[in-house]
Amino acid sequence: MSKKNIVVVGNGMVGHYYVDQLAAQQAGYNITVIGAEPRPAYDRVHLSEVFSGKNPEDLALSSRAHYESLGIKACLGEPVEKIDREAKEVITSLGRRFAYDKLVLATGSYPFVPPVPGADLPGCLTYRTIDDLGEIRAHASKGRVGVVVGGGLLGLECANALRNLGLDTHVVEFAPGLMGVQLDNGGSGMLRSMIEELGVHVHTSKATQKIVPGDAHNLRMEFADGSVLETDLIVFSAGIRPNDQLARDAGLQVGERGGITIDYHCRTSDSDIFAIGECALFGGRIYGLVAPGYRMADAAISQLGNAPLSFKGADMSTKLKLLGIDVGSIGDSHGKPLADGQAPAIFLYANDRERVYKRIVVSPDGKKLLGAVLVGDCSDYDTLLQLYLNDMELPANPEALILPADSGAPPLLSNMSLPLTATICSCLNVTKGAIVAAIDGGCCSVADVKAATKASTGCGGCAALLKSTVDEELAARGVEINNHLCEHFAFSRQELYHQIRVGELKNFAAVLDKHGKGHGCDVCKPTIASILASLWNDYVLAKEHASLQDTNDTFLANMQKDGSYSIVPRIPGGEITPEKLIVIGEVAKKYSLYTKITGGQRIDLFGARVNQLPAIWRELVDAGFETGHAYGKALRTVKSCVGSTWCRYGVQDSVGMAIRIENRYKGIRSPHKIKSAVSGCTRECAEAQSKDFGVIATENGWNLYVCGNGGMRPRHADLFATDLDDETLIRTIDRFLMFYIRTADRLQRTSVWLNNLEGGLDYLREVILDDRLGICDELEAQMALLLDTYQCEWKTTLEDPEKLQRFRQFVNSGDEDTHVVFVQERGQPRPAREEERDMALS
């Protein structure tokens, strides 16, 4: 039997999901996807991130290679122009014909542009595709003012984009309020005042009558009330309209106001043609969100197999961040009268000072949640959504659902009360039942469950709910989810830090005696050694500490794969004199070391035998070098750009500041390594936003960014404080670092620490900038102690013959390890491969 042809028109988010899932689930089809856009499907939901620094490529959901590997044929940049239902073929703009057995329309929608005279002038734009972004950017670069027509969800997101492009931004809305679909008047009003505080001008109840060329700016908008507004560009975001022309032309049934009519199998009026996503009309409704589109795709795919699913509509609750403001809307947010004419009960919490608005709509008997609006604080969203979706009974005092936690209201439900059918991850449609099944099947961590169910691999919005669900399920099974350091210490790193500090414990034996059991291991020993160093800053190779350290710390160098070591002298800020460069070269030559410039603006010398380390370091220390702590969980490098001293754009002395910072914090032991950088202007040549703490010069001082990370899971640092003077900058970093050292988990970089910190960045700001916990003096004093007791560990070691004893291969012989063998490559030594080594040894 020959394979059946499935042709999908549209390679947007839903069309992509359909082919990707179909290829994964069912063999035996020839799959073709035809898309009008020139690039493979991308994540439209996160389009705006391109304006805050993301590359368009980062949004890709697929690639030609990915499709090829799945056996999917992709024709991109070639819209379908006609469906020939008789011949069962589609015909593209290039005149190519593709025969189908089943056809799937996933043509999405387009932005609605109101029929206003002048709406086609240059500078009148829309916001839907990556190409649109380019247009908006190009016009923005020539202007200063931008207008968004439409104060709905997409319009406000677009306003943020214009603001990020540096435009003076206006939102023009026809209706009396913003986000009228999702918010009630109160919520809408709160949102408006918050947006206005950000400098965005909001004009409501404004009908645009005409657009004409402007005087001071590119365009002039004339409104029905006689007022005018001049602007350089206008983005229309006044709603979406389904792309249903193809279907209309082919005689398929469409809705009165557009949209391809489907049944709950996602079939159109032709049973061989399906429609899914934003082009489809189900139950008189277009679903303008991606998750319902995915559910339609699931239903459409299932029609090909033996277990057909139905699409029964979808919940349109949303939670988003608009211009940095949390907004959530669940169910009927307006509180419309019920079918029997009764009015629902409304509970409201509004706090003007903290800019929080929460309103819930509850059934007249007070038992069920019908809807909710949250502005300024969405922390209750997950709980409310679950109550709503699962039709769960509310507590006797529904107001407790939205009152602040410290108001004395009783605590609310835990996940355990959620039914198994509750959806935990709506992107990937993972229910609590699926998570429970995964745990029953052997998963014992969030990571396991994620891998098994794919939950939380979409927008990520469900991460917290997933974690609490998994934790509680594990706990219910008696799996102890502890953060105990190891079998020897039933405490977290943070708890131990506290115990050691308060108990003034000075060595491992004392800590073990007081708080632990057994002998210790390679997890708790280095951790406690690091805590002891963070607190008391003793010499790490002191007799009582030496055996606790990882090999890198014991030998003050990084062990390489063959057992030899690398040497990284500190080069603060990346600045080095020619004399010192020559010393490094001479030393490398003398001891036949491989030299390489590192990613951290310094030089690494590789291939030293353990017994050579002291001699090499003696030469380096004599020439004025210090240890670079490349081996320690400590400050690594503070990268710099040349800054105002040389660079024509620099506004501050970034090298000077980088050197000051590196010298200040060098040697401090911390839960994980710490990296920093200082850039001399916003061009950011030092890449400070990828560092644990990064500093970028401004006209007025320095902006401080925190908790960035390169490495395995890159994270952009968050802007923490702006325009700091030198001393305030240093003081803020002091506090930040000490708070991290105090509270982070073992081997937790600042990025992960922040992600796990309850209250997140705002909380961190309160602690560090507003001294909410009243500990800043203590943090500064602790830092001062560490700074006072700094020593170059190599210098100290070289002065102590007993310590140098450690640096040898054999107790009873001066021989060297014959397994450490080097061969030459590109004029330098490198470790021999096994065959080469065997040859050298035989």
Partner 1 sequence: MMSPSPSPNPAEIRFPRRELLDNAGVCALIDGVQVAVFYLPGETPALYALQNWDPLGRANVLYRGIVGDLNGELVVASPLYKQHFSLRTGRCLEEEDVSLPTYEIWLEDDTVIVTLRSSNLKTQEYKNA
111 touches which of ligand SRM, ligand SF4, ligand FES, none (CB within 5 to 8 A by kind)? none
361 touching ligand FES, by CB under 6 A: no
What part of residues 484-513 is at the interface with partner 1 (CB under 8 A)? 487-488
149 touching ligand FES, by CB under 6 A: no
Cβ pair 148, 170 in contact under 8 A: yes
Cβ pair 208, 114 in contact under 8 A: yes
Query: Could you give the C-alpha distances from 442 to 425, 435, 436, 439, 675, in angstroms and in order?
Result: 20, 11, 10, 5, 38
Cβ pair 637, 710 in contact under 8 A: no
Q: Which residues pair with 436 in a beta bridge?
A: none
Out of 712, 814, 826, 842, the residue judged to bind ligand SRM by CB under 6 A: 712
647 touches which of ligand FES, ligand SF4, ligand SRM, none (CB within 5 to 8 A by kind)? ligand SF4
522 touching partner 1, by CB under 8 A: yes
Min dist CB 520 to partner 1, Å, is 5
Please name the residues in contact with 777: beta carbons below 8 A apart, sequence gap of 6 or more. none
d(CA 436, CA 441): 8
389 touching ligand FES, by CB under 6 A: no
Out of 76, 559, 615, 787, the residue judged to bind partner 1 by CB under 8 A: 559
Q: What's the N-to-C CA distance of the chain in angstroms?
A: 63
Please name the residues in contact with 804: beta carbons below 8 A apart, sequence gap of 6 or more. 614, 797, 798
462 touches which of ligand FES, partner 1, ligand FAD, none (CB within 5 to 8 A by kind)? ligand FES
Min dist CB 629 to ligand SRM, Å, is 8
747 touching partner 1, by CB under 8 A: no
Minimum CB distance to partner 1 smaller for 217 or for 545: 545
Cβ pair 102, 301 in contact under 8 A: no
- Kindly indicate which of the ranges 200-208, 421-429, 637-645, 790-798 contains the residues binding ligand FES, using the contact rule CB under 6 A: 421-429
521 touching partner 1, by CB under 8 A: yes
711 touching ligand SRM, by CB under 6 A: yes
- Kindly indicate which of the ranges 93-101, 334-342, 431-439, 560-568 contains the residues binding partner 1, using the contact rule CB under 8 A: 560-568
599 touching ligand SRM, by CB under 6 A: yes
Min dist CB 471 to partner 1, Å, is 25
d(CA 452, CA 622): 57
Min dist CB 427 to ligand FES, Å, is 3
Out of 177, 600, 650, 831, the residue judged to bind ligand SRM by CB under 6 A: 600
Q: Which residues pair with 605 in a beta bridge?
A: 567, 595
Out of 71, 441, 460, 599, the residue judged to bind ligand FES by CB under 6 A: 460
Size of the site for ligand FES (CB under 6 A): 12
Min dist CB 453 to ligand FES, Å, is 10
Min dist CB 519 to partner 1, Å, is 4
128 touches which of ligand FAD, ligand SF4, ligand FES, none (CB within 5 to 8 A by kind)? ligand FAD
d(CA 433, CA 423): 9
Q: Tokens at residue 625, please?
A: 């070098």
118 touches which of ligand FAD, ligand FES, partner 1, none (CB within 5 to 8 A by kind)? none
Minimum CB distance to ligand FES smaller for 177 or for 328: 328
Q: Tokens at residue 482, please?
A: 């502890």
Min dist CB 696 to ligand SF4, Å, is 8
Residues making contact with ligand FAD (CB under 6 A): 9-15, 34-37, 44-45, 47-48, 79-80, 106-109, 127-128, 154, 157, 243, 246, 277-278, 288-291, 293, 320
746 touching ligand SRM, by CB under 6 A: no
Residue nearest to ligand SRM (CB): 711
Minimum CB distance to partner 1 smaller for 524 or for 588: 524
746 touches which of partner 1, ligand SRM, ligand FAD, none (CB within 5 to 8 A by kind)? none
Nearest to 266 by CA among 283, 249, 248, 291: 283
d(CA 586, CA 619): 10
Nearest to 187 by CA among 355, 349, 374: 374
- Return the HEC string of 598-642: CCCCCEEEEEECHHHHHHHHHHHHHCCCCECCCCCCEEEEEEECC
Minimum CB distance to ligand SF4 smaller for 412 or for 642: 642
817 touching partner 1, by CB under 8 A: yes
546 touching partner 1, by CB under 8 A: yes
**254 DSSP 8-state letter:** B
Out of 218, 426, 748, 782, the residue judged to bind ligand FES by CB under 6 A: 426
Minimum CB distance to ligand FAD smaller for 99 or for 436: 99
679 touches which of ligand FAD, ligand FES, ligand SF4, none (CB within 5 to 8 A by kind)? ligand SF4
Edge-to-edge, what's the strand order for the sheet holding 345-351? 318-322, 325-331, 369-375, 356-362, 345-351
**204 DSSP 8-state letter:** -
604 touching ligand SRM, by CB under 6 A: yes
- Kindly indicate which of the ranges 75-83, 418-426, 539-547, 775-783 contains the residues binding partner 1, using the contact rule CB under 8 A: 539-547
804 touching partner 1, by CB under 8 A: no
Q: Can you list the alpha helix ranges (DSSP code H) found in 724-831? A: 726-743, 750-756, 760-768, 776-788, 793-798, 801-804
140 touching partner 1, by CB under 8 A: no
Minimum CB distance to partner 1 smaller for 332 or for 538: 538
Min dist CB 747 to ligand SRM, Å, is 7
| Dihedral-angle region of residue 613 (phi above 0 means left; psi in -120 to 50 means alpha; beta otherwise) | alpha
Minimum CB distance to ligand FAD smaller for 173 or for 473: 173
d(CA 174, CA 607): 71
- Return the HEC string of 657-710: HHHHHHHHHCCCECCCCEEEEEECCCCCCCCHHHCCEEEEEECCEEEEEECCEC
425 touching ligand FES, by CB under 6 A: yes
Strand 423-425 versus strand 430-431 pairing type? antiparallel
Amino acid letter at 169? T
Q: Pattern of binders to ligand SRM over 676-705, x per CB under 6 A?
A: ------------------------------
Look-up of token digits 């659902």: 401
Amino acid letter at 253? Q
Amino acid letter at 272? D
DSSP-based three-state secondary structure for 94: coil
Query: Could you give the C-alpha distances from 581 to 589, 590, 625, 778, in angstroms and in order?
Result: 12, 14, 11, 40
Q: CA angle at residue 782 from 777 to 788, to 5 degrees?
A: 125
Residues that bind ligand SRM (CB under 6 A): 558, 560, 566, 568, 596, 598-600, 602, 604, 630, 636-637, 673, 675, 709-712, 749
The residues that touch ligand FES, with contacts defined as CB under 6 A, are 425-428, 455-462
In the complex, the residues that contact partner 1 under the rule CB under 8 A are 487-488, 518-522, 524-526, 543, 546-551, 554-555, 559, 561-563, 610, 805-806, 809-813, 815, 817, 819-820, 834, 838, 841
